[in-house]
Amino acid sequence: MHPLLKKKGFIIDIDGVIGRSVEPIEEGVRGAKRLIEMGKRVVFVSNNSTRSRRILLERLKSFGLEVDESCIVSATHATASFIAKENPEARIFTTGEEGLKEELANAGLKIVDYEEANYLVVGSNRKIDYDLMTKALRCCLRGVRYIATNPDKIFPSENGPTPGTGMIIGALYWMTGRLPDVIVGKPSKVIMLEALEKLNLRPEDVVVVGDQIEVDVLAGKNIGAETLLVLTGVAKEKDIERAEIKPDYVLPSLNSIF
């Protein structure tokens, strides 16, 4: 039996482990199903900053994984949850899309125009424009609290590289010298602590599974959990040697744990 099967909980990255965009990764889906059938506690974690948990849930269901919303932690949800704990009265201006706004509203948070905001929440937006950037710039200059959903610089879409949330973070940094006060998504601890809370487990009882060394493995290290790198996504065998951060285990896919 693989030593990681002794752990009680699994924090599993979606993209590159369970699916690639709308396509399932069969070996990943099978592995996750078997873990759930064994009675392991499982949460799926995504740095996606444009989709609500509801949409991610639908995607997992389309892959054949029957789970409920409590098993999903997205950067959108974790951002809403973090702010709701820190300041339930926050007045938020966000650059983000509907998926992020949906999660902020679900957490009881108020979304306002930039002039009334005391929070700037930066998330990726495929409809970003000059007006939205101007408003984000002015929030930054005014010194409001500044939260970013995730740090991803480039998003590898089916059609090639496209800008991630990092595009907006970089633009604001260059113009104002400000970086986010808090970044929620992996490798930040913020989203991982949210996942641990959902599992109701301590870091030593969980495994963090992902396909990216600098994102998933680092996120696992940041909370002191053991890490499993799978080779169904971004990282290839040769990347492991070069990397400064070493995963505890490497397997071809999530299902290889069995």
Helix, strand or coil, per DSSP, at residue 234: coil
Q: What are phi and psi of 93, to 5 degrees?
A: -105, 130
Q: Which of 12, 83, 122, 168 binds a second copy (CB under 8 A)?
A: 168
Give the residue among 75, 22, 21 at the shortest CA–CA distance from 44. Answer: 75
Q: What are phi and psi of 110, to 5 degrees?
A: -95, 130
C-beta of 169: minimal distance to a second copy in Å?
7
Q: Which of 22, 130, 241, 244 binds a second copy (CB under 8 A)?
A: 130
Looking at beta carbons only, is 38 or 141 nearer to a second copy? 141
C-beta of 187: minimal distance to a second copy in Å?
17
C-beta of 17: minimal distance to a second copy in Å?
24
Cα distance between residue 12 and residue 24, in whole Å: 14
By the rule CB under 8 A, 38 interacts with a second copy: no
Single out the segment in contact with a second copy by CB under 8 A; choices: 21-29, 37-45, 173-181, 231-239: 173-181
By the rule CB under 8 A, 122 interacts with a second copy: no
Residues within window 136-165 making contact with a second copy, judged by CB under 8 A: 137-138, 141, 153-154, 160-164
Cα distance between residue 209 and residue 232, in whole Å: 11
73 pairs with which residues across the strands? 45
Q: Which of 127, 236, 238, 242 binds a second copy (CB under 8 A)?
A: 127
C-beta of 232: minimal distance to a second copy in Å?
24
Tell me whether strands 249-251 and 226-230 are parallel, antiparallel or unpaired.
parallel
Q: Which residues neighbour 184 within 8 Å (Cβ) at sequence distance 6 or greater?
A: 75, 78, 79, 82, 147, 148, 149, 150, 190, 191
Q: Which of 9, 31, 166, 180 binds a second copy (CB under 8 A)?
A: 166
By the rule CB under 8 A, 70 interacts with a second copy: no
Quick one: tokens of 127?
Answer: 């409809």
Q: Which of 85, 108, 175, 252 binds a second copy (CB under 8 A)?
A: 175
Q: Which residues neighbour 183 within 8 Å (Cβ) at sequence distance 6 or greater?
A: 147, 148, 149, 150, 151, 190
Residues that bind a second copy (CB under 8 A): 125-130, 133-134, 137-138, 141, 153-154, 160-164, 166-176
